[in-house]
Amino acid sequence: MDYRDNIEKVLITAEELAQMVDNLAAQISRDYADKDLLLVCILKGSMIFTGELMQRLTIPSQVDFMKVSSYGSGTTAGVLKVHLDLKRDDLDSKDILIIEDCIDTGRTLGGLSRYLKGKGCRSVKTCALLDKPSRREITFAPDYVGKEIPNEFVVGYGLDYDEDYRSLPYIAVLKPECYN
Ligand code: IMP
Ligand code: MG
């Protein structure tokens, strides 16, 4: 089967993604020139974005990984579940930049920012490749955003639908019959 048969439309091409990541890397390289940058990649969706972003930074950086999920309802922040945590003892000297694939309700990044601030990191900021501001359920604004998108479920460039389609080199919307 060819996965391209399941694609309704390409929302962001590989070329546009490269441009978006270039711009983010330039801003971050500028803003973190005098800091001690630790990128925290949120698994699994941010793996490709994090790798591409890291390669374009002109300043030193380290990378680490977390896996989290969040539950909640209404406008309360809800509960953050940490499936994989940072295991390091130097967080008090690190400027954390959380790397997320897509912001929807805001619960995941809102909850994780608060969690990492509570661990005594020197600073905690957030960077998302995609943002769907119309979906927000809590008050949360990321520090860096690649692109705002409308309220559509997207896949590719690390983002999945039921664990599939992460390998697509662009951001796409699937045909309606592919979602069940
Ligand atoms: P939140 O609602 O902002 O907490 O987002 C929850 C999670 O949903 C994020 O970690 C995203 O990875 C994921 N997510 C949000 N929108 C999409 C999408 O359109 N496609 C795939 N994953 C998404
Ligand atoms: Mg995710």
pLDDT of residue 180: 77
Cα gap 54→155, rounded to integer Å: 21
Give this prediction's pTM.
0.96
Q: Tell me the one-letter amino acid at 1.
A: M
pLDDT tens digits, 82-92: 999 999 999 99
Cα gap 160→168, rounded to integer Å: 9
pLDDT of residue 79: 86
Q: Which residues line ligand 1 (CB under 6 A)?
A: 45, 70, 100-108, 153-155, 159
Cβ contact 41:50 at 8 Å? yes
| Top-level class of domain 15-151 | alpha beta
Sign, Cα dihedral of 13, 131, 47, 162? negative
**What is the atom index within ligand 1 of the atom nearest the CA of 154?**
19
**What is the atom index within ligand 1 of the atom nearest the CA of 111?**
4
Which of these ranges, 24-38, 61-75, 157-171, has the smallest mean pLDDT?
Answer: 61-75
- The domain segmentation of the chain, as residue ranges, is 15-151
Of 98, 100, 101, the one to substitute when testing ligand 1's pocket (max ligand atoms within 8 A of C-beta) is 101
